[in-house]
Amino acid sequence: MKRETAAQLLNENLKNIFAFCVSNLFDKQDAEDLTNDIIVAVLSSVERLESDDAFYGYLWRIAENTLKKHIRKKNSRSVSSNNDIYGVNWSTPENRVIENEDIMTLRRELSLLSGQYRRVTVLYYIKNKTVSEISKELNISVEMVKYYLFKTRKILKEGIQMQRNLGEKSYNPGTFGVDFWGAGNNGYVWSTFERRLPGNIVLAAYEKPMTLWELSLELGVSAVYLEDELDILLDHNFIKEIGEKYQTNFIIFKEDYENEFREKVLSKIPRSDVIKSITDTIENAFEKYREKNFGVELDDNKLKWFIANYILFAFLEKSEEGLLWDIGSYPKLSEDAVGYVYGHDNNYIYGYFNGIYDWNSKKNSAHYRVINYNIIENCQLWRTKNGHCNDIICEAILGKDISSDEENLAFLIEKGVVLISDGKMKAEFPVITKKDKEEMDSDFACTIKSIENYATELCKGAEAILKKHVPRNLIEQCDILCYIRHKTDVAGILMEELVKIGYLTVPEEKCNLCFYGIK
């Protein structure tokens, strides 16, 4: 037999030879040495073998004899013999550890295989199906089955020899928070990231694209479970595929950016002038709007909160109009939503809001708006229950008859948003008319403009910093996302400043402080 032919067959059976050695020796280093000895012994004498068909029997005889010589050299002791396999077995604690390590390593590598590779491997090696049976079951060609098996052997061989370390997120998951600005059916944005795993996938794949097995190692989650999560994220365009890799497809405002923004932009741009503009405007309009009442009794402090909140919401409204003027329309997202999705890796600790609600009724002309500033969390934390609640609120703004939806009406009464008076529903918050709104927009126009100028300066500084902190593929979104993110921040920053200087006082009791309707 030619040595070249023997060398090729040895290479194809290297894994089996090594497995034979590992199963019969104390440690892997010994097994590697024995494997080398067996290969040398076979190649040095194989030319005497007359028939190629006798190679495998010859190989395992050499392997057994070489093992025995190795054992004698190390003064090892045979405990038992098993005629069903070649060689000698020991039932020792060390041997069991080695076997368990090999099994765990193989399982680890199998868990990292993606989709079709894993399915073909399981069917062939675990369920003992033939190549033809696998071809029919998976509806792929026999050649593709062979290709997958060939690639899988190579992947497993390389993986078994590697030292793999789980990533930090496997034991210390990151904190991800999602945000949305736009309109339409955006509930899927929040529901997708209610669990930790999708959030940690987008955090892991943010800085650079990652393969499925890289994500599996980083997150400590088997590839078979990750695939379903990746499909959901792909469907909603939260991630994108780059060849065989995945990368997050929206901007995440990470903590290193937040710190640099506060140090180099927020702390450097003065806001005393814009604060003075707000307080002067409120004082000049105070008596005028005291007389209007707006359907509820407001003490001086609550009236100031109402006017300040109206000014800031009007600024946000005007900012959105300006943004839409610039971009034409919001980009389309999943499920009839339009707008922008972005995220945070810091549990919203750098935010100023617990939510902003702006609901226009489709059934009538009523409209309500709420801003849950962080600073008023203890007295106002409104969370709409569903669209039916929103419709009832709008009916209460118009003073309609009592809603037949008793469950949602009871919820709104309990939350102090709606009350019953003379057989009608009534809003438990200020309500203005469209004429009032036109008048207020005119009265506050100069102040709103000064807030816009402050916000523009802040956003420009933020954009220059953000471009240094995002992946290259997301740089084009920086200007728009800075504007969306930080113009809302401006409203919270200014409201907190008004409290800090003592112009506004946060009430101790529960109340609808920054909640108003329009009819």
Q: In this structure, are 304 and 241 located in the same domain?
A: no
Q: In this structure, are 59 and 189 located in the same domain?
A: no
In the chain, the number of structural domains is 3
- From 92, 114, 132, the end of a domain falls on 92
User: CB–CB of 447/423 below 8 Å?
Assistant: no
- From 223, 249, 275, the end of a domain falls on 249
* 364 domain residue, yes or no: yes
- What is the DSSP code (8-state) at residue 332? B
Q: Residue 92: phi, psi to the nearest 5?
A: -120, 155
How far is C-alpha 90 from the geometric centre of its chain's CA atoms? 49
Q: In this structure, are 245 and 260 located in the same domain?
A: no
Q: In this structure, are 483 and 507 located in the same domain?
A: yes
Closest by CA position to 22, among listed 105, 129, 114: 105
What does the alpha-carbon distance between residue 487 and residue 226 come to, in Å, rounded to a whole number?
36
Q: In this structure, are 243 and 259 located in the same domain?
A: no
Q: In this structure, are 496 and 359 located in the same domain?
A: yes
Q: Return the number of other C-beta atoms located less than 10 Å from residue 386's C-beta.
A: 9
In the block, which residue shows the tokens 């504007």? 483
How far is C-alpha 346 from the geometric centre of its chain's CA atoms? 12
DSSP lists the bridge partners of residue 359 as: 368
Q: In this structure, are 212 and 327 located in the same domain?
A: no
CATH for 73: 1.10.1740
| Maximum distance among all Cα pairs of the chain, rounded to whole angstroms | 114
* 234 domain residue, yes or no: yes
Q: In this structure, are 354 and 242 located in the same domain?
A: no
Q: Which domain holds residue 78?
A: 1-92
Q: In this structure, are 275 and 408 located in the same domain?
A: yes
Q: In this structure, are 179 and 286 located in the same domain?
A: no
* 133 domain residue, yes or no: no
pTM of the model: 0.66
* 224 domain residue, yes or no: yes
* 103 domain residue, yes or no: no
What does the alpha-carbon distance between residue 108 and residue 113 come to, in Å, rounded to a whole number?
9
- Per-residue pLDDT 10s for the chain (519 aa) are 887 888 888 888 888 888 888 877 766 777 877 888 888 888 888 788 878 888 888 888 888 888 888 877 765 444 333 333 333 343 444 444 444 445 555 555 666 666 677 778 778 777 778 888 888 888 888 888 887 777 777 766 665 555 555 567 766 788 899 999 888 888 899 999 998 899 999 999 999 999 987 898 888 887 778 888 999 999 999 999 998 899 999 999 999 999 999 999 999 999 999 999 999 999 999 999 998 889 898 999 999 999 999 999 999 999 888 888 888 889 999 888 999 999 999 878 888 988 888 888 777 789 999 999 999 999 998 988 888 999 999 999 999 999 999 999 999 999 999 999 988 999 999 999 999 999 999 999 999 999 999 999 999 999 999 999 999 999 999 999 999 999 989 999 999 999 999 999 999 999 999 999 999
Burial of 495 from C-beta contacts in 10 A (0-12 / 13-18 / 19+): buried
User: CB–CB of 439/302 below 8 Å?
Assistant: no
* 2 domain residue, yes or no: yes
User: CB–CB of 227/114 below 8 Å?
Assistant: yes
* 130 domain residue, yes or no: no
In the block, which residue shows the tokens 């901007």? 251
What does the alpha-carbon distance between residue 74 and residue 95 come to, in Å, rounded to a whole number?
16
What does the alpha-carbon distance between residue 180 and residue 218 come to, in Å, rounded to a whole number?
27
CATH for 220: 1.10.10.10
Q: In this structure, are 186 and 80 located in the same domain?
A: no
Q: In this structure, are 348 and 474 located in the same domain?
A: yes
- From 92, 118, 140, the end of a domain falls on 92
